Structure 1
């Protein structure tokens, strides 16, 4: 029996404007300036128009995302994609503003979805979240054991006017797994941001392949907290419909 032909690669059009917004709480987060410097370097190399806002309150997280969305929808030129970097203390599903109040991540994601941001409808929206998602700590495990199988999903198509789901074309990149701590060095910055910037500026390829390399490097890193070795890895959630290249 012959194998089916390979699928034709569909690629996001990255010829238009690339926009980035970074919202970072610096209060009681030593080392975050190193992360901001690294991100600025990365966005410059990748050709992004980048804006950074320091120490937003919980309400200002909402307001800055709304301004970002409105500015994109008001542009006359073509927008290819947007990156949003969110850095703060947090727990699962929540970020802590400079004022100590919490903001729901899901509400922040809503601002740029296919319903609420026309400029990004069907365009890639990449969220990078450097924040704790709980208090658990991972001491690591010995390599071995079987991998779980993939779930099979049914794909429905229609011959009528094309529509897309409200929440497609998004990529959420978390610095750690659900329920776990995210680590940050008080001088060198976070393992996650520093590794991601290194990979995104050193290599060319589909972004999901680059994120696999980020995961590999973080998995190999040995982090020490309170004298004990710890492990950490990012979690990637994707609803991308096409292949995303940053170059």
Structure 2
């Protein structure tokens, strides 16, 4: 899967959708009890366990459950942890779960994440998962990650988790052996999360090589959108294209590409970048289409193309090594419908007042075929000390396996993204995307499938190593 990081480390952050649990708009209140669980598989080196315990202490978790169990038993132990939290019937500030196993054994962590996401005591509370490989054959960078995390937590307890992990990704990637280690953050957070227990603070860092990407050179954007059979998609293209041009991106727009044209347009875009006379600072690629049941994109001809394969090809572009690459995907990633009750939880007075109730259109389309996604491979000819998986930001309009929505005015994701970025073009993009997700989650969707209310939630994947501000 695309978020696998050299078999060494994956960081997944999940949360339930409920407005009332936020102490203040846009920020989490984690002053309540903190719940923590550590699941250790046999074969994990003792040093990794000790380092992980140090991280728990640095994050303010005074006590935690620790279980040693084979990977096959992780789900059962996690279910028991969830039941104990629900049985307490008291609010929880946040939850931290560390899953540690030998390399290659944590192959499908999504099921584990979803198990805890259904915990009633944690609805609306941030849930942080650290997925770590440790044991024979594992790269040593996992220890560097934990050491760096502990050091940053102690030195900058006022930083939000997104800020802290961005800085940590820089340190780990630049200090890793051969430059091959690149952790990835997966987030559906809707607010600033500070696990240090102090007021979240957005530091105004001085621009420099270790704090902010330099976007003073050429910036390029490519928008590929299937308009045919997708009412409202034209509005997304117009809004996003206008935003890109306003931010100084040389913007190319292509309508109704076939599956083959998706590949050809990306190849042509990459060729233009490789032959560009001057340096390229940043690229933005938006892929908008119907989505298949396994997350495929469907071209205007109904044929499938894998979005991860397209993104991987562009990540290998030589002129983009060390440069930020932003991918926006407006499409379904499966056929699961996010129920309102499942996402929101109890509302106290039991009443619900939708802020709008337009007829929505699912972004999914039926497909009987299946194409297996191959895990991303390294770029050939990548320079020493570089990782082809670094400096990538991918934003999906729906969580893995779920549908995305759109109406005749466009999609909530693209329209909200444009609104937020136009209002705050100089702010850190990861912070802005957290705000976009908060607003999208608060939208109340009345889908065409039935009269029940639905919800949407973005998924953000980042291996950015610096702050990314689209307007310097």
The yes-or-no answer on 1:137 pairing with 2:306 is no
Is 2:303 the partner of 1:101? yes
CA contact (8 A) 2:295 2:401 kept: no
Change (3 A) 1:28 1:215: same
Q: Distance in 2 between matches of 1:62 and 1:28?
A: 21
> RMSD of the TM alignment (CA)?
2.1
TM-score, structure 2 normalization? 0.46
Q: Distance in 1 between matches of 2:216 and 2:346?
A: 42
Q: Does 1:76 align with 2:277?
A: yes
- 1:112 counterpart residue number: 314
1:50 alignment partner, SS class = strand
5+ long unaligned stretches in structure 1 = 145-160
| Contact 2:295/2:332, CA 8 A, preserved across alignment | no
Structure-2 separation of matches of 1:100 and 1:219: 30
How many Å apart are 1:239 and its aligned residue?
A: 0.9
Once residues 442 and 155 of structure 2 are traced to their aligned partners in structure 1, the CA distance between those partners, rounded to angstroms, is: 37
Aligned pairs for 1:159-178 (under 5 A) are 163-178=385-400
Give the Cα separation in 2 of the matches to 1:227 and 1:34. 25
Which residue pairs with 2:372 in the alignment?
Answer: none
Partner of 2:470: 246
1:18: which partner in 2? 219
CA displacement, residues 162-212 of structure 1 (integer Å, 9 cap, x when unaligned): 612121111110000011110000x21001110111111111311100000
1:143 CA drift (Å):
6.5
- Residue number in structure 2 paired with 1:180: 402
Distance in 2 of aligned mates of 1:126 and 1:212: 15
* Counterpart mapping for 1:189-200 below 5 A: 189-200=410-421
Q: Which residue of 1 aligns with 2:263?
A: 62
Number of matched pairs: 228
Instruction: Give how far 1:232 is off.
Output: 0.3
Alpha-carbon distance between aligned partners in 2 of 1:42 and 1:166, rounded to the nearest angstrom:
28
Work out which structure has the larger RCO, using CA pairs closer than 8 Å and 6 or more positions apart in sequence: 1
Is the 8 Å Cα contact of residues 93 and 106 (structure 1) preserved in structure 2?
Answer: no
Gaps of at least 5 residues in structure 2 are: 1-153, 160-166, 168-204, 348-382
Q: Does 1:208 align with 2:359?
A: no
CA contact (8 A) 1:12 1:244 kept: yes
Q: Distance in 1 between matches of 2:243 and 2:254?
A: 17
Q: Distance in 2 between matches of 1:71 and 1:80?
A: 14
Shift of 1:235: 0.4
Distance 2:227 2:242 in 1: 19
Q: Distance in 1 between matches of 2:314 and 2:465?
A: 16
The partner residue of 2:324 within 109, 121, 124 is 124
Poorly superposed stretches of 4+, deviation over 6 Å: 5-8
| Cα contact 2:393–2:462 (8 A) shared by 1 | yes
The aligned counterpart of 2:56 is: none
Q: Secondary structure at the match of 1:128?
A: strand
* Higher fraction of helix: 2
Aligned-partner Cα distance in 1 for 2:274–2:333: 32
The whole-number CA distance in structure 2 between the counterparts of 1:238 and 1:93 is 19
State which structure, 1 or 2, has the greater radius of gyration over its C-alpha atoms.
2
Deviations 1:17-52 (A, max 9, x none): 110000001111011011011112211221111110
